[in-house]
Amino acid sequence: MSDIIQLLPDSVANQIAAGEVIQRPASVIKELVENALDAGATSIHVLVTDAGRTCLQVIDNGCGMSPTDARLSFERHATSKIREASDLFDLHTMGFRGEALASIAAVAQVELRTRTANDELGTLLTINGSRFGGQEPVSCPVGSNFKVENLFYNVPARRKFLKSNSTELNNILSAFERIVLVNPDVSFTLHSNGAELMNLPATGLRQRIVDVFGKKINQDLLPVSVDTTLCRINGFVGKPEAAKKKGAYQFFFVNNRYMRHPYFSKAVMAPYERLVPQGEQVPYFIYFDINPSDIDVNIHPTKTEIKFENEQAIWQILSAGVKEAIGKFNEVPSIDFDTFGKPDIPVYNPFDNSKPAPGVKTNPQYNPFNTPQKPKNNIGQWQQLYDGIETGKTTQASLSLFTQQEGMTPDAQQTMAGGVGEEKSPNHYQYKDRYIVTAVKSGLMIIDQHRAHLRVLYEEYLDKMKQHRWETQKVLFPELLQFSQAEAVTMENILDELSTMGFSVTPLGGGSFSVNGIPAGIEGVDTGTLLRNMVQTAIQMTESAKNEVNASLALTMARNTAIHAGQTLSNVEMENLVNRLFACSNVNLTPDGKNILTIIKQTEIEQMLG
């Protein structure tokens, strides 16, 4: 039998490695910018075209590479970061595997211009799909200039499954934010299709956070600082009032490396347990400085999952540090008793004879049998006492055991009132200001009023968007909203959908938008919160189809405008809501799949009552 096992060519092996390291254009940006930081760059410029599909370019002023190093850098497992296996437990650089450049060159057309400070001329190197194109001297500044074109041009399946340009640009912005937040002493710029999205000068950590996410976040940050022999933790956490259901900025960094860590996230949220509503999140920017030998970053190709040797102890330190920050800056709500109009009760001192001891005062002249004179009867109106006797009818209120709001069926009310043949309006009972209970043929129907209204508004909003017949209510004073760059990109992409919904929003540049009009009928709703939630919903969408955008925006808007549990409804309002619900296409489930109503059958009631 002939041998069937053989070594794969380097080009194929590099493409396989690229499948793990280079997942999308954002992965290229991350690897190239991290290499620039390892090279000691103080100024980094990132330029993307068509969200990285056509071209990605990273320019830095780092140490650069010699002609030999430039050629060798694209070989697999070629690195300047480590020399032996023990170096993996003492990492002080972002990269160390030597796979990034080889993986990028395997799935794209790469052009590199680089020069060191000791060389008069630099090096121009071109590689197409792992095939060496050429190398020649060239005049260029000190540093490196990587230009990556036609990403995944030789892997059609990977290129086909890239998301829309807006989605990929959001991924690039997310990767860019994670890098700039941990390197405030380095200046960064980001351009997309020739337009400047970010220009971040070298500054302090707090100012860098403000530059990335806007001035509004500055007033919500509380500094955290803990220094122990095990680790050093610093950064910022948000005030309790900054909590939100979605879109909270949450970042962990360890030794200047971004990481995801749900276990530590619980440590941050634990001190907020009784300070923020359940399900809401606060922003935080936490930076760990720990001995590299106590962590392992080599467990995932993207290096975002990190193992800690003393994970439980660090959890306690982190939670205590956050709790101290909240208490130190007096952000825990204090009990403020309302003392206005209350009597001043002095503290009794038995040695102070200047003030008499408290006692009970009585009125000896009081006689309980001395009652005030009764008012005279109005004899002239005695006929009112006999109203209804001649006709043989009395009012329903005088005979009914239960009022209409107490849940009696129309038939029972008619029977007790003696008016069986008269028309009565349908009766509904609101239980604990949350559920609508009504009698149906098969038993009792219980309807969740919030979910019912959510379904009604969702379908009405979708219908108005499809018909383009939503009226806009102009506001007297336009509201100015500030978004981060990632949110601003999404906001601009959904402006058309917002317009069909009745919003009048004008982009002002720099992530600022002016709200000049809102849909008629949603007056009183916090427009800023509503639009931010809609943007976060659009960011989290997996597809960019217009129908899904409309459905997501309609659902978000319905959630913000639907009546909530605890709102008292009149019988007319309940009747109107029930009628609108049963006119919907789906009366059983909300758009996100939750039950709207349930029916307790008559047989079940009889069995329960025995």
Distance of CA 337 to the CA centre of its chain: 35
Q: Using an 8 Å Cβ cutoff, are 426 and 410 in contact? A: yes
Instruction: Compute the average pLDDT of residues 254-258.
Output: 87
Q: Is 402 helix (H, G, I), strand (E, B) or coil?
A: coil
Provide, rounded to the nearest whole percent, the portion of the chain with pLDDT above 70. Answer: 74
CB atoms within 10 A of CB 228: 12
Tell me how far apart the alpha carbons of residues 397 and 421 are, in angstroms, rounded to a whole number: 18
Grade residue 154 by pLDDT with cuts at 50, 70 and 90.
Answer: confident
50-99 pLDDT per residue, tens? 999 999 999 999 999 999 888 888 887 666 555 555 545 555 555 555 57
Grade residue 378 by pLDDT with cuts at 50, 70 and 90.
Answer: low
Instruction: Compute the average pLDDT of residues 385-411.
Output: 44
Q: What are phi and psi of 540, to 5 degrees?
A: -80, -5
418-447 pLDDT per residue, tens? 333 333 445 788 888 889 998 888 888 899
Residue 180 has a pLDDT of: 94
Beta bridge partners of 600: 444
Residue 205 has a pLDDT of: 93
| Averaged confidence pLDDT in the chain | 79
**Token pair in block for residue 470:** 């939503």
Residue 331 has a pLDDT of: 52
Q: 254-290 burial, b for 16+ CB within 10 Å, e for fewer?
A: bbbbbbebeebbebbbebbeeebeeeebbbbbbbbeb
What secondary structure does DSSP assign to 538-571, as a single string? HHH-S---HHHHHHHHHHHHHHHHS--TT----H
Q: Using an 8 Å Cβ cutoff, are 15 and 155 in contact? A: yes
Q: Which residues contact 233 (CB under 8 A, 6 or more apart)?
A: 224, 225, 226, 227, 286, 287, 288, 289, 317, 318, 321
More confident residue, 464 or 137: 137
Tell me how far apart the alpha carbons of residues 151 and 32 are, in angstroms, rounded to a whole number: 14
Question: How do 250-254 and 284-289 pair as beta strands?
Answer: parallel
pLDDT at 260 > cutoff 70 = yes
**Model's pTM, two decimal places?**
0.65
Question: How do 512-519 and 504-509 pair as beta strands?
Answer: antiparallel
Instruction: Compute the average pLDDT of residues 593-608.
Output: 88
Grade residue 130 by pLDDT with cuts at 50, 70 and 90.
Answer: confident
pLDDT at 255 > cutoff 70 = yes
Residue 10 has a pLDDT of: 64
pLDDT at 568 > cutoff 60 = yes
Tell me how far apart the alpha carbons of residues 573 and 561 are, in angstroms, rounded to a whole number: 16
More confident residue, 589 or 387: 589
Q: Tell me whether residue 146 is exposed, middle or buried, using C-beta atoms within 10 angstroms of its C-beta: 0 to 12, 13 to 18, 19 or more.
A: buried
